[in-house]
Amino acid sequence: METKFLTAESVCAGHPDKLCDLIADSVLDACLRKDRASRVACEVMATKGKIIVAGEITCSGKVDIKRIVRYTLQEVGYDPKKFRIMVLVHKQSQDIADGVDNPLESRNGDNSWYSTLGAGDQGTMYGYATDETRDMLPLPVVLANKITKRIDETRNDGLIKGIKPDGKAQVTIEYQDGKPARVKTIIVSVQHDASKSLDELAKDIYSHVLWKCFEDFPFDDETEILINPSGRFVEGGPAADTGLTGRKLMVDTYGGLAAHGGGAFCGKDPTKVDRSAAYMGRNIAKHIVWCGFAKRCQINIAYAIGKADPVSVEVETFGTGNVPDEALRKAVLDVWCLRPAAIIELLNLRFPRYSETAVYGHFSSCLYPWENVGKYTELKEAVKKHEQDNQ
């Protein structure tokens, strides 16, 4: 049998980089509540005693960014009074706005509804799905996210005493012939009070976190489990490690076990195809796996700034498909309009829910519209048509 080891990590909400992502998406949500057509490209930096919010924001309503930052800090577990907050934002460039609002197709005489919005940037975006878990995500990703979410829950409800907001986890799964076989390694690092011993911390993590997170796929006696392997972890958060938006891209998506293109998601409104097209790619890949056309699927969508139609669309099933990839690609183009305006409408991307996605992965909840597989009947009919065309 072929043996492989695949690893993914996740971080807690109080990790400096994730804190920045959460603040950026909280600012985005606040703008969308005031103005659904807001243009937001928000970047955040967190360091010892300081939070800096910068970027381009165009919103018809007034948003109190400093209040949003203070609220987010408090919700995560930091004392807002210990931070000086600096806000350095300005409106979106008129050149970029003109390209988005008056795309190439519209300038060439296309007056259809979905020609009214061009891509907010160029780049290649990827979506992925696999049948190895109910979430249609790689197992190491699912388990790592479960750990960090559970750590935050136990701290917030007081189940584990003496732990602080910063923390992270990593899981390595042994695969046999492409299927998850066992848990090889679990790594957990959690910030803690100076008075809490490492032995006490380890017992709490075992009893309140690991046993619960690995109920469906248990670790065994041979699993290597490392809890705070560096030892003491008292100083953490922005005081110990500067945080920035967009530095946990693999945590946001597929753990590095599938491609990630374009740029970061957090702090960007849906005219930025970095975010919206990646969500669309995930939706399409999930449909293909859900319908049984492949065990694994990756979608590649590329755009040019100021152009509504993508410049390329590709489907890759890694040899697991039971129909040709080209038939799937043609079916995808039949079923989905991949212009930004169509994606925003289909996935309801003007709704202010982005702060919910900032931690534990953007594909972790079945409540997100991009996780819905409501077009499976249309996809099946389109695939059948293109299979017949190829015969």
User: Mind listing the pLDDT tens digit for each residue in 37-95?
Assistant: 999 999 999 999 999 999 999 999 999 999 999 999 999 999 999 999 999 999 988 88
CA distance 249 to 228: 23
What confidence score (pLDDT) does residue 64 get? Answer: 97
Got the DSSP string for 281-328? HHHHHHHHHHTTS-SEEEEEEEE-TT-SS-SEEEEE-TT--SS-HHHH
Are the CB atoms for 136 and 128 separated by under 8 Å?
A: no
What tokens were used for 259?
């491609």
Predicted TM-score of the model (pTM) = 0.96
Residue 95 pLDDT: 83
3-state secondary structure of 152: helix
Q: What are phi and psi of 337, to 5 degrees?
A: -85, 125
Predicted local distance difference test score (pLDDT) of residue 391: 61
Q: Where are the domains of the chain?
A: 3-10+139-235
* From 112-121, 321-330, 341-350, 354-363, the region with the lowest mean pLDDT: 112-121
Encode pLDDT of 261-280 as tens digits: 868 999 999 999 999 999 99
Specify the CATH architecture of the domain 3-10+139-235.
2-Layer Sandwich (3.30)
pLDDT tens per residue, range 171-198: 999 999 999 999 999 999 999 999 999 9
Phi, psi of 266 (to 5 degrees): -65, 140
How confident is the model over 207-225, as a mean pLDDT? 97
Q: Which pLDDT does position 93 carry in this prediction?
A: 86
